[in-house]
Amino acid sequence: SLSIGIVGLPNVGKSTLFNALTKAQNAESANYAFCTIEPNKAVVPVPDSRLEVLSDLVKPQRVQSSTVDFVDIAGLVAGASKGEGLGNKFLGNIRETQAILHVVRCFDDDDVIHVANSVDPLRDIEVIETELILADVQVLESRLERMEKQLKGDKALAPKIEVAKKLLAHMDEVQPVSTFDSESKSLDELLVELHLITAKNVIYCANVDEEGVVEDNEYVKSVRALAEERGAEFVKISARMEEELVGLEDEDYQEFLESYGIEESGLHQIIRTGFHSLGLISYFTAGVKEVRAWTIYEGDKAPQAAGVIHTDFERGFIRAEIASYDHFVEHGSEAKCRSEGVLRVEGKDYVMKDGDVTHFLFNV
């Protein structure tokens, strides 16, 4: 399944954040009952207040959230791309993820050693990103070499070789794949083949202390500005605080956040942002047995969405009866939506929308 890789220099707070995510996983154990438990992976429920609203209306026996997977990729250091230490193994692990959460240290604390002896988020980001670019360059170079050998027998490779050379020139300027401004079928093919790390979406995560939570410090401001410049996502979090928060009851949790003047915890923001950066959305089923959010790709059609519940639902798909979330909440039930004329009947070409409250009809 899709996952987000957590990267960053040593001692920036990755493990602390990962522990908080793991606790969030364990708090809603139903979500990972069917998953193999892997020590470096957290299958985390996606916070969605709409689920609570729906369960208040439907009063089901259980409620289940969508989930998103985070993978802890510890150990990425300067020199990783040269295969120093276990560098290559970590780079391999990042390649298998679909988005990157880049944790950056934005707090001062003399008791926590910084690998470069000073706190400087932009320098830290550059260190990590340079390693990732160098790793991608190696992959691209060896692919290019191979294609050039094959060119004699397969002239059709020419456009792909051309685009690979251009991309390599771009990356030789220490630029990530994501800023390579070009569109072609050959480029798309190349990117699909190579799983280049710096082509993935990045969420920059500024890890702050308690003061930093209340007000952006200078470190945070610089990372926020960088993210904006790059059109990337940004989240501010205090990993240490979140680790303590996760166990709290809802009310205490809310009270705690309010005492810091924040509306939503950094951890929740990370989970939600991560989910969206993977191109995922949720639709709902709202039965008396279960109110549930189901995870699909943006752009999925109704039969594919049905297939997430059961492959038979996709194969035997007839139609979907759908109320928008707002309509469902306004009228309170599927029956009422039907009698009010807002329950839509959708066929196999319908593109699902986030929040659709759905009932599938199918042949078995």
SS3 sequence of 245-272: HCCCCHHHHHHHHHHCCCCCCHHHHHHH
**Residue 88: both structure tokens together:** 């290559």
308 belongs to an annotated ligand binding site? no
40 lies in the site for ligand GDP, by CB under 6 A: no
- The nearer residue to ligand GDP, 41 or 160, going by C-beta atoms, is 41
**Residue 46: both structure tokens together:** 């996606």
**Residue 145: both structure tokens together:** 């070499």
220 lies in the site for ligand GDP, by CB under 6 A: no
Largest CA distance in the chain: 69
Phi-psi region of 296 (alpha: psi -120 to 50; beta: other; left: phi over 0): beta
**CA-wise closest residue to 63 among 24, 23, 30:** 30
Instruction: Give the range of 13-21, 40-48, 260-268, 318-326 binding ligand GDP by CB under 6 A.
Output: 13-21
216 lies in the site for ligand GDP, by CB under 6 A: no
12 belongs to an annotated ligand binding site? yes
347 belongs to an annotated ligand binding site? no
Pair 342, 331: CB distance under 8 Å:
yes
The tokens 């194969």 sit on which residue? 315
Instruction: Give the range of 6-14, 143-151, 261-269, 283-291 binding ligand GDP by CB under 6 A.
Output: 6-14
Residue from 2, 16, 216, 362 in contact with ligand GDP (CB under 6 A): 16
240 lies in the site for ligand GDP, by CB under 6 A: yes
97 lies in the site for ligand GDP, by CB under 6 A: no
239 lies in the site for ligand GDP, by CB under 6 A: yes
- The span from the first CA to the last CA of the chain, in angstroms, equals 27
Q: d(Cα 264, Cα 178) in Å, to the nearest integer?
A: 29
25 lies in the site for ligand GDP, by CB under 6 A: no
**Residue 217: both structure tokens together:** 């410090």
Q: Using CB atoms within 10 A of its CB, is residue 61 exposed (0-12), middle (13-18) or buried (19+)?
A: exposed
Pair 227, 125: CB distance under 8 Å:
no
112 lies in the site for ligand GDP, by CB under 6 A: yes
Instruction: Give the range of 7-15, 166-174, 191-199, 284-292 binding ligand GDP by CB under 6 A.
Output: 7-15
**CA-wise closest residue to 291 among 67, 68, 59, 33:** 59
8 lies in the site for ligand GDP, by CB under 6 A: yes
The nearest distance, CB 75 to ligand GDP, in angstroms, is 9
3-state secondary structure at position 94 = helix
Pair 328, 357: CB distance under 8 Å:
yes
193 lies in the site for ligand GDP, by CB under 6 A: no
Residue from 207, 222, 285, 295 in contact with ligand GDP (CB under 6 A): 207
10 lies in the site for ligand GDP, by CB under 6 A: yes
Residue from 7, 14, 198, 343 in contact with ligand GDP (CB under 6 A): 14
293 lies in the site for ligand GDP, by CB under 6 A: no
211 lies in the site for ligand GDP, by CB under 6 A: no
184 lies in the site for ligand GDP, by CB under 6 A: no
**Residue 314: both structure tokens together:** 């996709």
Residue from 32, 70, 107, 328 in contact with ligand GDP (CB under 6 A): 107
209 lies in the site for ligand GDP, by CB under 6 A: yes
Detail the residues annotated as belonging to a binding site: 11-16
* Binding interface with ligand GDP (CB under 6 A): 8, 10-16, 74, 107, 109, 112, 207-209, 238-240
